[in-house]
């Protein structure tokens, strides 16, 4: 399986290593034609306003939306979760808008208020997921087609809608491969 990792800005290298550790081929994506032969795309954490602007400047925005409509799976972490959302509270920044979610950016405060938490996720068994939140968003509200996989204090931090997956935190910064493996499973379903 070949998975693309959007490599415009942010934590993309760690996602490539994760994909390789899960037995998939990883490809850094910077040009529209590189989207043709991948089965899934990861949008990393970083700065969503910057990544969104670069998606337009580099001709990737419309092409990703087209590939998504053709069935390409997408996993967004943190800034990637923001870019997948239809609705970003108080912002008209560029976005893919593929998930029926309403997100709050920088929802837990400033960079220094970043934190780690243990998440219990039914799909991943008894062992909690150690989640690293870095100036993270959360999903405040989600439509009926969105499956909620985990919450922190009543706010959604892992969500899935058909072939789209979003986490508010950064699993590529830990050694826990379960979320990346789950994404690969979603593609095979």
Distance CA 175, CA 28 (A): 21
Q: Which residues 6+ apart lie within 8 Å of 30 measured at CB?
A: 7, 8, 58
Stretch that binds ligand GLN, among 14-22, 45-53, 58-66, 142-150 (CB under 6 A): 45-53
Q: Which of 3, 19, 74, 78 binds ligand GLN (CB under 6 A)?
A: 78
Active site residue 172: yes
Q: Is 160 in the site for ligand GLN (CB under 6 A)?
A: no
Q: Which is nearer to ligand GLN, 16 or 82 (CB)?
A: 82
- Burial grade of 178 (CB within 10 A; 0-12, 13-18, 19 or more): middle
Q: Is 105 in the site for ligand GLN (CB under 6 A)?
A: yes
Stretch that binds ligand GLN, among 34-42, 78-86, 142-150, 172-180 (CB under 6 A): 78-86
Q: Is 159 in the site for ligand GLN (CB under 6 A)?
A: no
Q: Rounded to the nearest whole angstrom, what is the least distance from the CB of residue 132 to ligand GLN in the complex? A: 9
Q: Rounded to the nearest whole angstrom, what is the least distance from the CB of residue 7 to ligand GLN in the complex? A: 15
Choose, from 78, 112, 123, 140, the residue flagged as catalytic: 78
Q: Which of 1, 22, 32, 47 binds ligand GLN (CB under 6 A)?
A: 47
Cα 40 to chain centroid distance, Å, stands at 11
Q: Rounded to the nearest whole angstrom, what is the least distance from the CB of residue 91 to ligand GLN in the complex? A: 9
The pairing of strands 129-133 and 99-104 is unpaired
Distance CA 88, CA 12 (A): 23
| Interface contacts to ligand GLN, rule CB under 6 A | 45-48, 78-79, 82, 105-106, 134-135
Q: Which residues are catalytic?
A: 78, 170, 172
């Amino acid at each position: 399986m070949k998975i693309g990792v959007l490599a415009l800005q942010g934590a993309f290298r760690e996602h490539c290593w994760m994909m390789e550790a899960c037995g998939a081929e990883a490809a850094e994506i910077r040009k529209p034609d590189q989207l043709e032969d991948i089965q899934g795309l990861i949008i990393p954490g970083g700065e969503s306003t910057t990544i969104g602007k670069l998606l337009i400047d580099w001709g990737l925005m419309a092409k990703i939306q087209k590939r998504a409509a053709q069935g390409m799976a997408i996993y967004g972490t943190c800034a990637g979760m923001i870019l997948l959302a239809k609705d970003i509270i108080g912002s008209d920044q560029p976005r893919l808008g593929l998930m029926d979610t309403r997100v709050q950016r920088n929802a837990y405060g400033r960079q220094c208020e970043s934190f780690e938490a243990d998440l219990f996720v039914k799909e991943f068994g008894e062992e909690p997921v150690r989640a690293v939140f870095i100036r993270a968003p959360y999903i405040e509200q989600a439509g009926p087609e969105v499956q909620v996989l985990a919450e922190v204090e009543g706010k959604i931090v892992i969500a899935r809608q058909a072939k789209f997956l979003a986490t508010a935190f950064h699993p590529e910064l830990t050694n826990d491969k379960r979320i990346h493996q789950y994404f690969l499973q979603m593609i095979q379903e």
